[in-house]
């Protein structure tokens, strides 16, 4: 579902750019690996390139490809087996994968990042969070250069420096669309609930909007040197423990997005959830191979808390991130004010911390075998803690329209959401 994240802009059209303004901005910029960047004073510390990534005189790339090409079609896309919904990489839904393929990857790896592959150093394609940060911390206007091309100018609200994006259009097949009038830019972030598409941004004379781009399309890439990426998804609720909660579920790009589902201790989603394909057993809940305290359930090892290698937050988000423990969930319940709300048709709880900051926990439901249950009716969030009632279960957070509570007897092999925390 396409979400318009930004309001229409008040556009000021200028017939030409002034050379003295351009020269001044260049003088204030810096160089990394031979490419200029501008420091806009953004809270995360991200530094944005002043020009688009260009390879062989082309600024257009399919999502996840590192070289331009003659035609941008399904049949020429690197990560499709020749047709729509036959993805071979970056697939979070088996219905979009080649012969049911799924790998759960939703952020570009450096080897597939055109900015990093061609510019090297610390250059990367911006995440969707970084695009949001850029937009919200700048004021925007549209100019027209001497060749009649629209130029979209962002001026930092923090230090007054500027960044420019030219309306070079986009490629579909071998056709150039919207030339001189607009531009489309990729983020590195997949749309996890429709993984044939990736998140991006659209510039036009009337608006700047969130753009869900089909991955084979030819869009531009504006590289960045990332700052503190974790800070863009952290919310400090003022809790006694000092831990921070993520703004979104794993796999989601906005708080009301439900994100991806995981079995307890697994790090990739899948189309079918039960003990026949669960990572830590031999087909039944009485044959557990890890996280077992009672020989009645399998091979006892006494481990009750997920190791970091089996913690999806640690594995996907990196240092400092983890799944919440039962104690973390209990603190969230007791220390915060919980209000049931519906945001963009998604039901859930707004959770307000002692300091007034808040997060939203959507009712994502749960999945058992191939059936989705309780979607937009109830929420089930994993903790990293084994259930003391039996090793086939883990504990978590249960939410419905009435109240939140600690959830017991969450079947480990079922698919449920994860809201990470950061120490």
Say how far apart CA 283 and CA 390 lie, in whole Å: 17
Domain ranges of the chain: 19-227, 232-422
Contact 261, 415 (CB under 8 A): yes
The residue-averaged pLDDT of 121-142 equals: 98
Bridge partner residues of 262 (DSSP): 416
The residue-averaged pLDDT of 226-248 equals: 98
State pLDDT tens for residues 21-67. Answer: 333 343 355 999 999 999 999 999 999 999 999 999 999 999 999 99
Say how far apart CA 259 and CA 26 lie, in whole Å: 40
- Give the Cβ contact number of residue 307 at 10 Å: 12
Q: Give the pLDDT score at 13.
A: 31
Q: Give the pLDDT score at 28.
A: 52
The DSSP bridge pattern shows strands 162-166 and 170-172 to be unpaired
78-93 exposure pattern, b = at least 16 Cβ within 10 A, e = fewer: bbbeeeeebbeebbbb
Mean of all residue pLDDT scores within the chain: 93
pLDDT at 106 over 70: yes
CA torsion angle 78 194 210 181 (round to 10)? 50
| Secondary structure E strands in 50-161 | 138-144, 150-156
Say how far apart CA 195 and CA 78 lie, in whole Å: 15
Mapping DSSP onto H, E and C, the string for 67-97 reads CCCCCECHHHCCCECCCCCCECCCCCCHHHE
- Predicted TM-score (pTM) above 0.85: yes
> Which residue carries 């204030």 as its tokens?
28
> Which residue carries 């309306």 as its tokens?
167
Q: Give the pLDDT score at 16.
A: 34
pLDDT at 20 over 70: no
State pLDDT tens for residues 362-404. Answer: 999 999 999 999 999 999 999 999 999 999 999 999 999 999 9
The rounded percent of the chain whose pLDDT value lies above 70 is 93
Q: What are the CA-CA distances from residue 209 to residues 28, 200, 395 (Å)?
A: 29, 9, 40
> Which helix (H) or strand (E) is 24 found in, with range?
helix 19-27
The residue-averaged pLDDT of 223-241 equals: 98
Q: Give the pLDDT score at 29.
A: 55
State pLDDT tens for residues 158-198. Answer: 999 999 999 999 999 999 999 999 999 999 999 998 999 99
The residue-averaged pLDDT of 116-126 equals: 98
DSSP letter assigned to residue 251: T
Say how far apart CA 423 and CA 405 lie, in whole Å: 23
pLDDT level of residue 11 (50, 70, 90 thresholds): very low
């Amino acid at each position: 579902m396409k979400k318009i994240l930004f309001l229409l802009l008040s556009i000021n059209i200028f017939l030409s750019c002034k050379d003295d303004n351009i020269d001044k901005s260049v003088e204030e910029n810096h160089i990394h690996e031979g490419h200029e960047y501008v420091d806009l004073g953004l809270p995360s510390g991200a530094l944005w390139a002043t020009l688009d990534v260009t390879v062989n005189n082309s600024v257009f790339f399919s999502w996840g490809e590192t070289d331009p090409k003659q035609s941008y079609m399904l049949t020429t896309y690197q990560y499709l087996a020749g047709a729509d919904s036959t993805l071979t990489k970056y697939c979070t839904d088996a219905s979009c994968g080649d012969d049911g393929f799924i790998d759960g990857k939703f952020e570009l790896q450096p080897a597939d990042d055109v900015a990093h592959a061609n510019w090297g150093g610390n250059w990367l394609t911006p995440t969707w969070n970084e695009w949001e940060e850029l937009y919200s911390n700048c004021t925007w206007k549209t100019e027209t250069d001497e060749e009649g091309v629209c130029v979209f100018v962002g001026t930092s609200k923090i230090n007054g420096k500027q960044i420019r994006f030219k309306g070079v259009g986009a490629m579909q097949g071998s056709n150039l669309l919207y030339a001189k009038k607009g531009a489309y830019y990729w983020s590195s972030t997949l749309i996890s609930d429709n993984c044939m598409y990736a998140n991006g941004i659209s510039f036009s004379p009337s608006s700047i909007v969130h753009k869900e781009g089909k991955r084979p399309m030819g869009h531009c890439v504006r590289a960045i040197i990332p700052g503190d990426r974790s800070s863009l998804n952290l919310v400090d609720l003022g809790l006694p423990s000092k831990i921070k909660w993520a703004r979104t579920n794993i796999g989601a790009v906005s708080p009301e997005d439900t994100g991806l589902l995981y079995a307890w201790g697994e790090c990739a989603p899948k189309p079918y959830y039960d003990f026949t394909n669960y990572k830590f057993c031999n087909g039944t809940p009485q044959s557990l191979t890890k996280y077992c305290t009672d020989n009645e359930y399998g091979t006892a090892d006494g481990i009750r808390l997920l190791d970091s290698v089996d913690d999806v937050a640690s594995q996907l988000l990196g240092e400092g991130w983890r799944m919440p423990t039962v104690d973390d969930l209990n603190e969230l319940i007791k220390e915060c004010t919980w209000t049931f709300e519906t945001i963009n048709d998604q039901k859930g709880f707004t959770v307000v911390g002692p300091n007034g900051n808040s997060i939203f926990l959507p009712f994502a439901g749960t999945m058992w075998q191939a059936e989705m249950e309780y979607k937009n009716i109830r929420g089930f969030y994993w903790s990293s803690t084994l259930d003391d009632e039996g090793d086939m279960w883990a504990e978590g957070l249960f939410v419905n329209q009435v109240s939140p509570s600690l959830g017991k007897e969450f079947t480990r092999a079922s698919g449920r959401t994860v809201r990470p925390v950061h120490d």
